[in-house]
């Protein structure tokens, strides 16, 4: 059986991932979320011609070295201006303050001297950049952020400056992580020699939270169909992530348990390494299930490639691509038929070029290697041997 490649497998998953309902959230909860509705400006920004500097508001036609202008008032940020500037007049003005009517230029205070109720201008003139025109940042009715845009602190600043205190976003999905295996024990608990700690569960819960989900780390289920079924039916989720039991062994009971619950299998395996046994199913009520291989590195690589886009898709968005390129620091042998995602360290080499050092041992059980890695180096199927210096695609972690 030919396995689908990563793009095909993901496209099949996303085709069955419908966005959840929308909700209104305050800006304080909106970071990392996708806008369901555009954000439009309610007024011009700045709302008035404003001074960019501390100094003197003047009429441009009065600006010449040594000019003596009569001080007729003051304008500070937060205050309104109730006077106008006539020829030969100046007003004390501060950064962010409204320009008085009649004034169209600012002379910074370093370039002028006050003498009683007059100001004497120095040699330098007025720089046009010292007046910020009304609407110079944006104008009322402008669409500032479109639907589908992912909010970040910079974009939140824009929404806030437009006076928008709450935005419409896709609901954050509830993601339940269900580790599976008789050998699994929660970290911190007593453990027998034949058991291992559940490392993939906490790692994936943290990963899901970073992607904007509300994760629940369920306790590990035994390799037993009935136990898995009851864990699934007892959990509240929009997306279930089952970890382990994905392969072909006699104890790999997760897929049979899901099938018994009526799940439709959409993806069963992918031409990738690590992560070949990854799978995806849809429950009869439409909720989606992502099955990840149990080896921690396989699970985490699949999380980057599939879980992040699914969590985004449930929120009506797509993740920000974290793809980059780097020069290989070492030679690599030819790749086999599967897309290979190699854990690698990155460093900035001489000449400022990003260098990638893939680890020599890429066994998918090695958590120590995963923890030292900064990125994944992608080797496409059938890629010929590569020499140091060759440019390769790298994927930075979410
Ligand atoms: N005959 C074949 N055997 C295997 C194949 C294959 O194609 N033919 N594929 C291999 C590949 S590739 C992978 S990846 C694994 C995937 O196996 P499962 O998804 O069934 O996972 P398990 O067997 O349950 O566990 C694998 C390994 O990972 C450990 N594990 C499981 N869950 C966790 C967890 N939550 N935290 C930490 N470690 C975990 C588990 O103890 C095993 O050591 O199958 C290969 N076999
Ligand atoms: O998918 Mo497995 O992850 O190659 O070890």
For residue 164, what is the domain's CATH number? 3.90.105.10
| One domain, residues 128 and 159 | no
State the closest ligand 2 atom to the C-alpha of 276, by its place in the atom list counted from 1: 1
By C-alpha distance, which of 268, 180, 185, 269 is closest to 225? Answer: 180
377 or 318, greater pLDDT: 377
Rounded to two decimals, the ipTM of the complex is 0.96
Which residues fall within 8 angstroms of residue 82, CB to CB, at 6 or more apart? none
Q: Give yes or no for residue 200 CB within 6 A of ligand 1.
A: yes
Residue 30 lies in a domain: yes
| One domain, residues 385 and 332 | yes
Residue 128 lies in a domain: yes
Of the residues 314, 348, 372, which one is the last residue of a structural domain?
A: 314
Number of domains in the chain: 4
- List the domain range (segments joined by +) for residue 76: 50-132
- For residue 351, the SS3 value is helix
Residue 1 lies in a domain: no
pLDDT per position as a tens digit, 150-163: 999 999 999 999 99
**What does the pLDDT read at residue 197?**
97
The CA distance from 244 to 241, in Å, is 10
pLDDT per position as a tens digit, 212-247: 999 999 999 999 999 999 999 999 999 999 999 877
Residue 82 lies in a domain: yes
| One domain, residues 205 and 331 | no
| One domain, residues 82 and 213 | no
Of the residues 132, 155, 189, which one is the last residue of a structural domain?
A: 132
pLDDT per position as a tens digit, 268-291: 999 999 999 999 999 999 999 999
Element spanning 127, H or E: none
Q: Give yes or no for residue 275 CB within 6 A of ligand 2.
A: yes
| One domain, residues 301 and 390 | no
pTM (predicted TM-score): 0.91
Give 244 Cα–ligand 1 centroid separation in angstroms: 6
Residue 235's φ and ψ, nearest 5 degrees, are: -100, 150
For residue 65, what is the domain's CATH number? 2.170.190.11
| One domain, residues 307 and 249 | yes
Task: Compute the mean pLDDT over every residue in the chain, rounded to the nearest whole number.
Answer: 95
Of the residues 289, 314, 339, which one is the last residue of a structural domain?
A: 314
| Number of CB atoms found within 10 A of residue 385's CB | 10
For residue 301, what is the domain's CATH number? 3.40.980.10
């Amino acid at each position: 059986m030919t396995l689908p490649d990563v793009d095909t497998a993901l496209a099949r998953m996303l085709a069955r991932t419908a966005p959840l309902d929308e909700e209104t959230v305050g800006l304080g909860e909106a970071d990392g979320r996708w806008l369901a509705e555009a954000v439009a400006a309610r007024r011009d920004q700045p709302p008035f011609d404003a001074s960019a500097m501390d100094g003197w508001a003047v009429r441009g036609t009065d600006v010449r070295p040594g000019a003596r202008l009569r001080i007729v008032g003051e304008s500070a940020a937060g205050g309104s201006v109730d006077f106008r500037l006539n020829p030969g007049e100046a007003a004390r003005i501060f950064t962010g303050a409204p320009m008085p009517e009649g004034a169209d230029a600012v002379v910074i205070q370093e370039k002028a001297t006050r003498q009683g109720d007059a100001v004497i201008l120095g040699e330098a003139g007025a720089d046009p950049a010292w007046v910020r025109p009304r609407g110079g940042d944006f104008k009322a009715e402008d669409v500032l952020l479109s639907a589908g845009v992912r909010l970040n602190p910079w974009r939140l600043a824009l929404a806030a400056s437009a006076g928008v205190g709450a935005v419409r976003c896709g609901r954050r999905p509830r993601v339940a992580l269900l580790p599976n295996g008789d050998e699994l024990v929660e970290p911190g608990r007593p453990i027998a020699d034949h058991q291992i700690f559940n490392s993939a569960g906490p790692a994936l819960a943290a990963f899901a939270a970073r992607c904007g989900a509300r994760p629940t780390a369920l306790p590990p289920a035994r390799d037993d169909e009935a136990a898995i079924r009851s864990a699934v039916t007892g959990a509240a989720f929009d997306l279930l992530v089952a970890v382990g039991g994905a392969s072909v062994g006699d104890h790999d009971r997760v897929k049979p348990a899901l099938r018994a619950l009526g799940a439709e299998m959409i993806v069963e395996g992918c031409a990738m390494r690590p992560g070949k046994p990854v799978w995806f199913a849809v429950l009869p009520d439409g909720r989606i299930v992502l099955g990840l291989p149990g080896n921690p590195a396989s699970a985490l690589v699949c999380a980057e490639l599939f879980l992040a886009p699914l969590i985004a898709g449930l929120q009506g968005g797509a993740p920000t691509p974290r793809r980059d390129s780097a020069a290989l620091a070492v030679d690599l042998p030819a790749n086999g038929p599967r897309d290979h995602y190699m854990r690698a360290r990155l460093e900035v080499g001489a000449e400022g070029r990003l260098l990638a050092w893939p680890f020599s041992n890429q066994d998918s059980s090695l958590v120590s290697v995963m923890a030292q890695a900064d990125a994944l180096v992608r080797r496409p199927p059938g890629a010929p041997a590569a020499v140091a210096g060759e440019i390769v695609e790298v994927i930075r972690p979410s």
